[in-house]
Structure 1
Amino acid sequence: MNELIGALTMNAVGPDLFEGRTTNDGWFTLFGGQVIAQALSAATLTVPADRPVHSLHAYFLRGGAFDTPIKVEVARDRDGGAFSSRRVVVHQNDKPILTMMASFHAPEPGSWRQPQMPDVPPPEALPSLEDVQRAAAEQAPASMRESMLRRITSIDVHPITGCQPFQREDGPAEQAMWFRCRDVPADQSWHRILLAYASDLFLVNACIGPHRSRLKKGAHVASLDHGLWIHQDVNIEDWLLYVSDSASAGQGRGMNRGHIFSRDGRLIATTTQEGLMRLPA
């Protein structure tokens, strides 16, 4: 976790210009959630501390590289009486790889309404993602075992349904998992930055569920954009339930949506994401 926190810590190198390093958290390409979190980390440094982020929408423009620093430009579009708006561009090798809009809001009293949290097994009753990968690797050809045993996130994940990255049987257009982080700084802004990172974990898998048997040579799956709305304070050191489904797929794209609940049933956040789905027949 210390390495991830270090990668998400932005250093000011000019007025509203920041620089950071990337880290290989076990993925085959630079994880999109890492770039979103870095963009949010930089934007947060330009906003008063009493205005936490409540929403963001990002577009992935290019894949990123593990071994190249990033530069983050933040534009202060507006600071109003209760809201602050920031526009962010993340560059690597002098090319933009992500654009993002983020809104920050001073909390206000108001009415509350939310959906009920699904009834699912507790995280302690479920194997970790690493255990699931290890079991799958034992049944896989030797040529695939090394990649299947890579730890693909610094975050603790206990899958419930649909999150297994190497599953190749068709299933429902939905998934669920528990996740948490350890040794997180106490500042609420860090809990929200890490939530942004984690909110990209496997979300695109929901639209892939009914088409997993077509994930073979020539398949191309990638996140196109990402939306996150944070409804209340986050404690990411406690287990959070992430449930998602896919409303539609077609024309080479699939739509995903998700809810993140605290363990006691409070709705913490809502997510959306459209994914690229180029699957061989």
Structure 2
Amino acid sequence: MTTGSDVPIDELMRVLALEEAGEDQYVGQNYHAPHGRIFGGQVLAQALAAATKTVGGDRPPHSFHGYFLRPGDPSVPIELAVERLRDGRSFSARRVQAVQHGQPILSMIASFQTPAQGLDHQAPMPEVPRPHELPTFSERLAEAGHRPDDLGPLLRSQPFELRHVQSPLFLAPGPEKVAEQAVWIRPIAPLPPGPLLHAVVLAYVSDYTVLEPTLRAHGLAWTTPGMKTASLDHAMWFHRPVTFDDWFLFVEESPSASGARGLGLARIYSADGTLVATVGQEGMFRVPQ
């Protein structure tokens, strides 16, 4: 793992440790939000964590679909209300509303399944450089003439390390307009054990880079002047058990952008090439003309 403080991981665990507030009611605190609004992955992870608390531990999540309805206010805790839609012999379904100021900011339906045997195949992991063959984010910044302190607390507060196979889009567009990329991601310190927790943490980080192929395809960066972006919805399918204790490879693409919206897809592989999850997210992109 990377050297340095594991405080960001401790803070992430605090945010995901929801407080009970009544029957199937929970309250979540907020992670550091330097841009004045809550990171969407946090709300996704908290909603999934709330749903898991109402399902037996023998039924891990296999999918969820959430709609972002309003920006989250980082100064106010999030109220999470879980509705038990169904408990069958093999599957359970839950609806979760994340609420602030009396209004929903996220609405999610999640499904859980008792582990079962059946058909089994997966798309192979592509051949890409391994993480140790790629520059760190700090090294990328240095190559571009920046120091880590130039990004201040935003960089220091991240609980995950990212290594882009292509150039990252934090400060400048990529050299080529292509609608695909690959990113290695891992926690900066070990997570507590537990497959449900690791699935929730993977949901959190699944919102990091999935929309970047849309930016890359059009020669844009996150810092493009005047550009406005927002996540609209987010779907995730867990194919196999998650143990997020090492590098995971996010293989991402954007098959379409139109109507001021861009679609991002990601296949998530563990370091040994196992396909553990697939993500789809649509985002709003408004670019100055």
TM-score by length of 1: 0.92
Aligned with 2:276 (options 243, 260, 268)? 268
Alignment size in residue pairs: 278
User: Partners of 1:72 and 1:10 in 2: how far apart?
Assistant: 9
- CA RMSD across the alignment: 2.2
CA 1:92–1:218 in structure 2 vs 1: closer, same or farther (change >3 Å)?
A: same
Alignment counterpart, residue 2 of structure 1, candidates 5, 10, 13? 10
Unaligned runs of 5+ in 2: 1-8
2:161 aligned with 1:156, yes or no? yes
Percent identity at matched positions? 39
Q: Summarize the alignment of residues 16-165 of structure 1 with structure 2, pairs less than 5 Å apart.
A: 16-24=24-32, 29-136=37-144, 138=146, 145-146=150-151, 150-151=155-156, 153-161=158-166, 163-165=168-170
Identify the residue that residue 6 of structure 2 maps to in structure 1: none
Equivalent residue number for residue 182 of structure 2:
176
SS at match of 1:161: coil
- What is the distance in 2 between the residues matched to 1:163 and 1:92? 33
Q: Residues 223 and 163 from structure 1, CA distance in 2 versus in 1: closer, same or farther, beyond 3 angstroms?
A: farther
**Unpaired segments ≥5 residues, structure 1:** none
Residue 167 of structure 1: CA displacement? 1.8
What is the one-letter code of the residue matched to 2:173?
R
Paired with 1:27 and 1:112, the residues of 2 have a C-alpha distance of 42
TM-score, normalised relative to structure 2: 0.90
* Aligned residue number for residue 253 of structure 2: 245
**Deviates further, 144-153 or 1-10:** 144-153
Deviates more, 1:157-166 or 1:63-72: 157-166
Q: Is the CA contact 1:130–1:151 (under 8 Å) kept in the aligned structure 2?
A: no
Which has the higher mean CA deviation after the structures are superposed, 204-213 or 51-60? Answer: 204-213
- For the 8 Å contact 1:27–1:152, the answer to whether it is kept is no
Q: Indicate if the aligned counterparts of 2:33 and 2:74 stay in contact, CA closer than 8 A.
A: no
CA distance in 2, matches of 1:58, 1:129: 30
Q: Give the residue type in structure 1 aligned to 2:80.
A: V
Match of 1:157, SS state, is: strand
Residues 128-173 of structure 1 deviation map (CA, whole Å, 9 limit, x = unaligned): 234324544529xxxx934696346311211112543222345211
